[in-house]
Structure 1
Amino acid sequence: MKNVKIPLIIAALSAVSFGSFAQSITATASTLDDAEAKIAQQARDEGAQYKITESYAGNQVHMTARLIK
């Protein structure tokens, strides 16, 4: 019986994890506020919230976020 349950549990957990992958989005702008505004707009377009995961400021600001649905 234990040999039957283990593959079923693995299959169920695999299905859940594949369905819950988060989408990453990026934006580039001249300021942090402008980059975050672009991220926020992309999230609104997708009907999701977002969490900023990375931001880099050089000549321009590059920002990466993860969408949370």
Structure 2
Amino acid sequence: MKTVKSALIAIALTAVSFAGFAQSITATGSTIDDAESHIAQQAQKAGATYKITESYSGNQVHMTATLHK
């Protein structure tokens, strides 16, 4: 029982630590390159890397990314 309880605590603490580092950001631009440039600038200001998670193109490009430190 103690082993199961310890394992659950370890998993919970790991999940909390990963959640603390990830941050979602968004940007819009007239082109994909323009929107990604805005994402890259935000990531650089935060001192983090980024991964684009969503992009939508209509009249403008809307992009969402997750920052990772």
In the superposition, the TM-score normalised over structure 1's length comes to 0.90
**Runs of at least 4 residues of structure 1 off by over 4 A?**
none
Aligned to 1:49: 49
**Shift of residue 27, structure 1, vs aligned partner:** 0.2
Q: CA RMSD in A?
A: 0.8
* Matched pairs, number: 67
Uncovered stretches (5+) of structure 1, i.e. residues with no partner: none
Bigger CA radius of gyration: 1
The alignment-based identity, stated in percent, is: 57
Deviation at 1:30, TM superposition (A): 1.0
- Structure 2 length-normalised TM: 0.90
Q: Deviations over 1:2-50 (max 9, x none)?
A: x111111101110111110221110011111110010001111111101
SS at match of 1:59: coil
